[in-house]
Amino acid sequence: MSKSQTSPQIPPKYLQEDEISDECKKLLLTLPKERGWLASHIYNYQGFWATSRIIQGVIACQQQFQAQDSDIILVTTLKSRTTWLKTLLFGLVNRVKHSIFEQNHPLLIKNPHDLVPYLELTLYVDGQVLNFSSITTPRLLSTHLPFASLPKSIKDLNTKLVYLCRNSRDTFISMWHFTNNLKLDHKDINSIGKVFDLFCNGVSLYGPFWNHVLDYWKASIEKPNKVIFLMYEEIKEQPKIQIKHLAEFLECPFSIKEENCGVVDEILRICSFENLSNLEVNTNGKLSSGEENKVFFRKGKVGDWKNYFTIEMNEKLNHIIEQKFEGSGLRF
């Protein structure tokens, strides 16, 4: 994100370290912490890493969020192309209410993160939980929470979970750019080497990355009607097949008539990086949390890691991936 020339920017709430409750402050004192990435520290809570403000949001969400059977929750590790799958899901699930050929389709005038809010970030950190009660069903929500830390009702009910992950190298590069851009004063920009070591040690927002992926992979095998596990690169290779598969999982398959009318193609076109990143709302708009929408649209390419990784970094990550995913049946 380029620093605004005109108005000073306020960091998103999940980075602000004030307004932490006394109870949460006490908890933070007991948690392992690390410097780097964002904020002054990130903390390890329930086995994953997050900022103090996110942890406060997670606790509220775990205590208060009541899932519904019809809810659809998109789960991602940070920077797995969440923005993109939010739009695909929105277009897919709401296609009866909003024809994808509608001139003023919500996807063309609103940012994907306003259409599909983050549970622990938008609803419980930004405090938009009150507006949320008016969302019609099926409710489309998203989260970065690891499987073990999901609110209990999500696990207990028939709520569907759509999990998306992406090549760890591209995820890491995207995360590195994103977190540096969030350092609004552009001081203390993280060097790639420093955060790469943290990432390899499992210290990244909502990480360890491998645990996050593996836990949802296992859940998708144990409960295939509840959890679908998607990889960005596979969808990119066969978008039509994969989106139809997703529609079947969500029990809203495309009819032959819809296919013949080009509904699938149009959803894919509207949700493409080229289309979304050029929309007025995404170039000049802001989220209700204050973040500029354009920070969610960087390159949108597969394999950008090759522009940054040294041979040593690649070998190190290969070795870790082999170790972590060995025997899982997951090809990464």
The Cα 332–Cα 318 span in angstroms is 10
Cβ 214 vs Cβ 328: under 8 Å:
yes
276 lies in the binding site for ligand PAP (CB under 6 A): yes
Could you say which of 84, 176, 199, 249 contacts ligand PAP (CB under 6 A)?
84
Kindly tell me which of 175 and 320 has the beta carbon lying closer to ligand PAP.
175
111 lies in the binding site for ligand PAP (CB under 6 A): no
Kindly tell me which of 225 and 231 has the beta carbon lying closer to ligand PAP.
231
- How far from each other are the two terminal CA atoms of the chain, in whole angstroms? 29
223 lies in the binding site for ligand PAP (CB under 6 A): no
Which of 105, 113, 144, 177 is labelled catalytic?
144
Cβ 130 vs Cβ 146: under 8 Å:
no
Kindly tell me which of 302 and 321 has the beta carbon lying closer to ligand PAP.
302
190 lies in the binding site for ligand PAP (CB under 6 A): no
Residue 181's identity, in one-letter code, is: N
Burial class (CB in 10 A: 0-12, 13-18, 19+), 257: exposed
CB of 189 to ligand PAP, least distance (A): 16
285 lies in the binding site for ligand PAP (CB under 6 A): no
Cβ 168 vs Cβ 65: under 8 Å:
no
In degrees and rounded to multiples of 5, residue 45 shows phi and psi of: -120, 130
The Cα 216–Cα 210 span in angstroms is 10
Site for ligand PAP (CB under 6 A): how many residues?
A: 21
Does the annotation count 144 as an active-site position?
yes
177 lies in the binding site for ligand PAP (CB under 6 A): yes
170 lies in the binding site for ligand PAP (CB under 6 A): yes
Closest CA to 165 of 1, 326, 325: 325
CB of 203 to ligand PAP, least distance (A): 17
292 lies in the binding site for ligand PAP (CB under 6 A): no
| Displacement of CA 232 from its chain's centroid (Å) | 12
DSSP 104-139: T-HHHHS-HHHHS-BIIIIITTS--HHHHTTPPSSP
Which span (145-153, 210-218, 259-267, 294-302) binds ligand PAP, by CB under 6 A? 294-302
50 lies in the binding site for ligand PAP (CB under 6 A): no
Closest CA to 36 of 22, 49, 17: 49
Could you say which of 53, 81, 160, 169 contacts ligand PAP (CB under 6 A)?
81
1 lies in the binding site for ligand PAP (CB under 6 A): no
CB of 81 to ligand PAP, least distance (A): 5
In what helix (H) or strand (E) does residue 48 lie, and over which residues does it extend? strand 48-50
CB of 89 to ligand PAP, least distance (A): 12
CB of 141 to ligand PAP, least distance (A): 13
Which residues participate in catalysis according to the annotation? 144
Give the residues lining the site for ligand PAP (CB under 6 A): 76, 78-84, 170, 174, 177, 271-273, 276, 296-300, 304
